[in-house]
């Protein structure tokens, strides 16, 4: 049977058929004279169609077209596989009902949240649909005592038990209300959690044995996010329903059995890793009812100490909340699969054998790899995009600006130094030193675009190493190594005299997160050398000093254009200005002050308690129309910025996902107005090339700048020729 109809009906037909688990297949004989399009087909690399997996109501066998993977995981244009497209298709469920919520949940959940709640309940109770299971009952083969035999749909292994994953991945895009959905699931399951703790706990008179908890352990990247979760509990859950505790800092000094009285325990990745490495982890003594990883992509690197600490936690149910379960490679998903303890795919070698290796294969096994990936994601993952929100779309504007003549002269001088360094790097013998010089100078070019003449005058030694801690952090970010040298947790800001909650920067330019600072100091004093670099440098640390207020005349062209935009739209509502550098926000703030525009500011120098107060000002005070924020603080852990509807990105980032996260703080549930994003790009500068790399989905932070092999550095330096453009 071949179906004909208007293309405008395609999506509706695809959805209705899928809801009945009926899937269209490509016909053997294409109709002549008609354009053919299967609305249920996923386009994989090389623009080749892949049909959905087999279902009972399917009329023909599945045919999967094999993409060209002769160059690894690339499409026919040599671009990386579009994992987001795969995720949106393979983790899409059209068979979900809408769960009924507990009476203690004060906020009415939206339809997609009720569906997610149903997905969670099914995964946790073992009542998931057969179509989502990773085991199939074998109709012919039976065990010798006539018990049923099941076969794993991916590995082919057989077993008399069909153990499924109790948990999974909620991969909804940022801003769709994952936090409220998970809190609803926690509230709904309180009785089951209590029963688990009661019946699983088995301790002998000496105190040894299994100590099970009714608690859900929620792990987040930062203390600020703990505050956001507490806010969500207060806003959406009836008072007294959930007994919550913040396990962080001094509050870790709590007895085991006292901790077990709580329903929800909140902590950070850094706390879990730090305590685990010191063999003093109370959290690892407990069998938790449920462990929830917020921003779960944080554990994407399975070789880190942080991953090992998280993986070692014991729990009945495991959940990962992340809008980006696959950021760069399938190894990211492999780490989450390992954390979830997916049967027979928990080990990285098994994941690689059945999923990664076939997809990367140069042989005919690619289709098998994609089918296995589809089966896995369909079994453990739920994904919806912001397209389901009425305010999901935003206007993306790009302001292309010219340097004024004096700025252009300065910029050309800095650029000339960079070109000379590049020539020495590619042709000289000391590749490592020249490579670092190029990176330093590239950073100076980017900074000049924001800071103008004043920065150019201060940059006398353009090829020298950057000394400012924030600039060093920017270099490390450009190299993809902004993680704690002890526990591998992500670092987004350097500690200041006003705020010691952020990371420490050592003299040897290593980052130590706040959770690990005490251990680093102790190890340093014990061995009288730096425990990270193994050298005898000073234990003094580099602190981001507060920059004194001073006049900035003449103001840079970019900052003038930004403030003109803010001035022109200040009667239309609130806006946020994002920049990577505090110094840039200093310049913006000075000009806004001159123009009598009231603003507030959040950056790494502000302790988390004060950040909450500043954000409350921005949300509630009508006269505060502008929020200045560094990307390190704004892109991570802030979920309540939808009061703004204009977002200014002062400079392009090497890692475009940082920008996406910042935008996601505004384009989310609760946003009632159309959002406009304005990007500022200086013409004929390094910013144009950074932006072009973004648009091509290249990310230099993941291209190996941190590697030490001379061949890799040479390759990267040649790539930098393109960034600098022609002579």
Model pLDDT for residues 628-644, shown as the tens digit of each residue: 999 877 656 566 688 89
Separation CA 639–CA 156 (nearest Å): 43
CA nearest to 129, candidates 172, 93, 98 = 93
CA nearest to 67, candidates 363, 393, 335, 309 = 363
The model carries a pTM of 0.75
**What pLDDT does 432 receive?**
67
Average pLDDT over residues 224-232: 89
Our CA angle for 104, 129, 197, nearest 5°, is 45
Model pLDDT for residues 472-518, shown as the tens digit of each residue: 888 887 777 788 888 777 787 777 766 677 888 888 888 888 878 88
Q: Can you give the residue ranges of every domain in the chain? A: 1-60, 111-123+164-388, 394-398+548-699, 406-547+703-724
CATH H-level, domain 394-398+548-699: superfamily: P-loop containing nucleotide triphosphate hydrolases (3.40.50.300)
Q: How far is CA 132 from the centre of its chain?
A: 26
60-74, 216-230, 256-270, 552-566: range with lowest mean pLDDT: 60-74
Sign of the CA dihedral with 686 first, then 690, 695, and 696 last: positive
Separation CA 386–CA 642 (nearest Å): 14
Separation CA 137–CA 148 (nearest Å): 7
The pLDDT mean for the chain works out to 80
Question: Cα–Cα distances in Å, from 466 out to 440, 509, 535, 545, 549?
Answer: 6, 11, 21, 15, 21
The answer to whether domain 111-123+164-388 and domain 394-398+548-699 are alike in fold is yes
Rg over alpha carbons for the chain, rounded to the nearest Å, is: 27
Separation CA 492–CA 473 (nearest Å): 8
Q: How far is CA 443 from the centre of its chain?
A: 24
Which band of pLDDT confidence, cut at 50, 70 and 90, is reported for residue 429?
low
Separation CA 657–CA 467 (nearest Å): 27
CB 538 within 8 A of CB 507: yes
> φ and ψ at 141, to 5 degrees?
-80, 130
Model pLDDT for residues 287-305, shown as the tens digit of each residue: 999 999 999 998 988 988 8
Separation CA 93–CA 115 (nearest Å): 9
**Please, how many CA atoms are within 13 Å of residue 328, restricted to the half-sphere of its CB?**
16
> 305: Cβ–Cβ under 8 A, 6 or more apart, which residues?
273, 276, 277, 486, 487, 488
**What pLDDT does 272 receive?**
94
- Judged against a pLDDT cut of 70, whether residue 80 lies above it is answered with no
Separation CA 19–CA 97 (nearest Å): 11
- Judged against a pLDDT cut of 90, whether residue 377 lies above it is answered with yes
CA nearest to 42, candidates 105, 108, 86 = 86
Separation CA 690–CA 698 (nearest Å): 9
CA nearest to 294, candidates 639, 6, 606, 56 = 639
Cβ of 467: how many Cβ atoms within 10 Å? 8
The CATH number assigned to the domain with range 111-123+164-388 reads 3.40.50.10810
> 297: Cβ–Cβ under 8 A, 6 or more apart, which residues?
322, 324, 325, 327, 332
Which band of pLDDT confidence, cut at 50, 70 and 90, is reported for residue 175?
confident
Separation CA 659–CA 396 (nearest Å): 12
Model pLDDT for residues 17-59, shown as the tens digit of each residue: 655 556 576 665 555 445 566 765 433 333 323 333 333 333 3
């Amino acid at each position: 049977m071949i179906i004909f109809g208007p293309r405008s009906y395609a999506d509706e037909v695809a959805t209705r058929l899928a809801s009945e688990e009926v899937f269209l297949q490509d016909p053997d004989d294409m109709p002549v004279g008609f354009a053919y399009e299967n609305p249920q087909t996923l386009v994989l690399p090389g623009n080749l169609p892949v049909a959905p997996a087999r279902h009972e109501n399917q009329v023909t066998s599945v045919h999967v077209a094999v993409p060209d993977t002769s160059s690894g995981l690339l499409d026919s244009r040599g671009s990386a596989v579009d994992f987001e497209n795969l995720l949106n298709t393979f983790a899409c469920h059209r068979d979900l009902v809408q769960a009924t919520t507990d009476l203690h949940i004060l906020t009415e959940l939206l339809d997609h949240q009720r569906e997610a709640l149903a997905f969670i309940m099914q995964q946790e109770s073992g009542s998931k649909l057969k179509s989502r299971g990773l085991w199939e009952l074998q109709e012919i083969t039976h065990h010798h005592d006539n018990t049923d035999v099941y076969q794993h749909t991916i590995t082919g292994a057989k077993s008399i038990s069909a153990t499924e994953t109790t948990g999974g991945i909620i991969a909804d895009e940022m801003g769709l209300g994952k936090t409220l959905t998970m809190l609803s699931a926690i509230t709904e399951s309180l009785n089951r959690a209590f029963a688990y703790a009661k019946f699983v706990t088995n301790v002998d008179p000496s105190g040894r044995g299994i100590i099970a908890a009714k608690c859900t352990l929620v792990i987040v990247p930062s203390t600020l996010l703990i505050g956001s979760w507490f806010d969500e509990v207060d806003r959406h859950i009836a008072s007294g329903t959930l007994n919550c505790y913040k396990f962080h800092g001094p509050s870790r000094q709590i007895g085991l059995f006292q901790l077990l009285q709580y329903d929800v325990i909140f902590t950070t990745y850094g706390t879990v890793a730090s305590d685990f490495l010191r063999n003093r982890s109370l959290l690892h003594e407990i069998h938790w009812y449920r462990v929830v990883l917020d921003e779960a992509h944080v554990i994407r690197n399975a070789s880190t100490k942080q991953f090992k600490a998280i993986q070692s936690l014991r729990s009945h149910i495991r959940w990962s909340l992340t809008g980006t379960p696959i950021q760069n490679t399938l190894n990211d998903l492999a780490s989450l699969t390992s954390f979830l303890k997916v049967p027979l795919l928990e080990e990285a070698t098994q994941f690689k054998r059945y999923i990664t290796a076939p997809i990367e294969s140069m042989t005919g096994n690619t289709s098998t790899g994609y089918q296995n990936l589809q089966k896995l994601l369909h079994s453990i993952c739920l994904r919806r995009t912001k397209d389901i929100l009425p305010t999901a779309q935003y206007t993306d504007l790009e302001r292309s600006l010219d340097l004024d003549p004096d700025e252009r002269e300065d910029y050309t001088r800095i650029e000339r130094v960079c070109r000379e360094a590049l020539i020495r790097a590619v042709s000289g013998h000391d590749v490592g030193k020249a490579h670092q010089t190029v990176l330093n100078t590239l950073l100076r070019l980017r900074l000049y675009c924001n800071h103008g003449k004043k920065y150019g005058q201060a940059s006398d030694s353009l090829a020298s190493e950057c000394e400012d801690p924030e600039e060093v952090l920017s270099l490390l970010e450009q190299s993809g190594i902004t993680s704690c040298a002890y526990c591998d947790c992500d670092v987004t800001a350097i500690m200041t005299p006003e705020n010691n909650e952020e990371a420490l920067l050592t003299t040897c330019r290593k980052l130590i997160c706040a959770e690990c600072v005490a251990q680093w100091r102790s190890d340093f004093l014990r061995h009288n050398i730096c425990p990270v670099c193994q050298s005898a440098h000073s234990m003094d640390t580099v602190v981001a000093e507060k920059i004194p207020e001073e006049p900035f005349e003449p103001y840079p062209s970019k900052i003038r254009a930004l403030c003109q935009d803010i001035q022109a739209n200040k009667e239309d509502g609130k806006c946020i200005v994002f920049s990577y550098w505090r110094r840039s926000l200093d310049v913006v703030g000075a000009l806004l002050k001159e123009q009598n525009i009231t603003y507030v500011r959040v950056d790494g120098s502000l302790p988390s308690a004060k950040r909450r107060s500043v954000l409350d000002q921005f949300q509630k005070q009508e006269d505060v129309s502008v929020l200045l924020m560094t990307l390190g603080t704004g892109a991570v852990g802030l979920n309540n910025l939808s009061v703004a509807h204009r977002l200014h990105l002062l400079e392009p980032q090497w890692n475009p996902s940082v920008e996406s996260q910042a935008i996601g703080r505004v384009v989310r549930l609760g946003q009632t107005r159309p959002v406009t994003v304005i990007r500022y790009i200086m013409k004929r500068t390094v910013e144009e090339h950074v932006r072009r790399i973004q648009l091509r989905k290249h990310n230099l932070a993941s291209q190996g700048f941190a590697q030490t092999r001379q061949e890799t550095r040479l390759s990267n330096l040649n790539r930098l020729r393109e960034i600098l453009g022609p002579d």
